[in-house]
């Protein structure tokens, strides 16, 4: 059965200071996205869809798309602020993208199979693609049966500054019951801390499971998210900083008993680039994986 990988590559990389999606991380100039495509292909995914910004389409086609066209079915779509559900309006002065929830929604035109969603600038590890693909095969004809690859928070932090993570609550059956986006998470004196909306510093247990935006959905998710996004636009008509995130859609569906989300256990280790200083560690990690025989010297 077919499955698609959706890669969210429209982010600006503000903290990083550039288009980190195109940054070289492997020994032959490979990007992190190259490793994700390599892992997805060998796990069983048959198609890759990218969500990108229209203003770097030419550079994307030259540096990224051309590498994959003879290897796997590949397509891209644009995330435009004006792409909203019929009948919805918004402040045309808005400049900021709508967020990850909107990025997934605009990909509906390119996807008609169960699909996984990942960030372009995160290295998720081969096993995460395997367990997600396997789960997608199980729920091919289902509705509202989704998945999320869970990572231990202590393995997802940056030594260079704070990060944002979706902190998960999970029941005894490994089903997600709630996900809360926490910003300004940092490890200080061996404690994982975040700053809440009131400015208070709060501790997070070291073994907490977090979402790194590796989701598994069936196509019915698009229609659900479109309705929730319409409500979001109505409630945030005057807030040009508001963003529509995947976790808000997932929480809404769980709370309304319209969907369930299985948290998948994976042996994969996550790493990524949030700050420029993180690149050195990322390059070193990939080099070590190659030396361990987990990846070939050349993947393209």
Instruction: For residue range 268-291, list pLDDT tens digits in order.
Output: 989 988 888 888 999 999 999 999
How many other β-carbons are positioned within 10 Å of the β-carbon of residue 125? 22
Average pLDDT over residues 100-111: 96
How many other β-carbons are positioned within 10 Å of the β-carbon of residue 205? 11
Confidence of residue 21 (pLDDT cuts 50, 70, 90): low
Q: Long-range CB contacts (< 8 A, 24+ apart) of 187-190?
A: 187/154, 187/157
Which residues of the chain form beta strands (DSSP E)? 4-8, 47-52, 73-78, 115-119, 122-123, 145-152, 163-170, 176-188, 191-195, 201-204, 209-217, 260-264, 271-272
Q: How far apart are CA 185 and CA 183, in angstroms?
A: 6
Average pLDDT over residues 208-218: 96
Closest CA to 85 of 232, 200, 299, 280: 232
Find the angle CA(289)-CA(295)-CA(298) to the nearest 5 degrees. Answer: 120
More confident residue, 19 or 36: 36
Q: How far apart are CA 147 and CA 74, in angstroms?
A: 23
On average, the pLDDT of the chain sits at 91
What is the helix, strand, coil percentage profile of the chain, to 5?
Answer: 30, 25, 40
Res 13: pLDDT: 44
| 56 class by beta-carbon count within 10 Å (0-12 exposed, 13-18 middle, 19+ buried) | middle
Res 11: pLDDT: 66
Please report the domains of the chain, with CATH numbers, ordered by start residue.
Answer: 4-149+211-291 (3.90.550.10)
Poorest-pLDDT segment among 32-36, 80-84, 121-125, 253-257: 80-84
Res 20: pLDDT: 59
Structure tokens of 130? Answer: 């395997």
Res 35: pLDDT: 96
Res 93: pLDDT: 87
What is the value of pTM for the model shown?
Answer: 0.92
Res 12: pLDDT: 45
The answer to whether the beta carbons of residues 181 and 247 sit under 8 Å apart is yes
Structure tokens of 217? Answer: 């959905």
């Amino acid at each position: 059965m077919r499955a698609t990988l959706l890669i969210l590559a429209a982010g600006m990389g503000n903290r990083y200071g550039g288009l980190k999606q195109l940054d070289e991380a492997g020994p032959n100039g490979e990007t992190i996205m190259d490793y994700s495509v390599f892992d997805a292909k060998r796990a069983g995914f048959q198609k890759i869809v990218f969500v990108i910004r229209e203003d770097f389409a030419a550079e994307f086609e030259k540096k990224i798309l051309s590498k994959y066209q003879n290897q796997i079915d590949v397509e891209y779509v644009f995330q435009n602020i004006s792409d909203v559900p019929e009948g919805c309006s918004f402040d045309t002065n808005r400049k900021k993208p709508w967020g990850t929830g909107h990025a997934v929604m605009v990909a509906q035109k390119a996807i008609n199979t169960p699909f996984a969603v990942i960030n372009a600038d995160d290295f998720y590890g081969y096993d995460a693609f395997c367990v997600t693909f396997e789960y997608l095969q199980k729920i091919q004809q289902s509705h509202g049966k989704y998945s999320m690859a869970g990572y231990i928070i202590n393995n997802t932090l940056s030594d260079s500054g704070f990060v944002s993570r979706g902190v998960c609550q999970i029941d005894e059956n490994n089903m997600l019951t709630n996900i809360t986006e926490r910003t300004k998470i940092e490890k200080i004196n061996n404690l994982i801390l975040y700053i809440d909306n009131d400015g208070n510093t709060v501790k997070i247990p070291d073994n907490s499971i977090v979402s790194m935006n590796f989701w598994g959905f069936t196509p019915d998710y698009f229609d659900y998210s479109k309705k929730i996004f319409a409500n979001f636009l109505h409630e945030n008509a005057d807030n040009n900083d508001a963003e529509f995130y995947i976790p808000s859609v997932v929480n809404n569906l769980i709370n309304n008993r319209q969907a369930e989300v299985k948290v998948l256990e994976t042996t994969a280790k996550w790493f990524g680039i949030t700050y420029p200083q993180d690149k050195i560690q990322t390059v070193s990690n990939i080099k070590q994986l190659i030396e361990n025989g987990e990846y070939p010297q050349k993947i393209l």
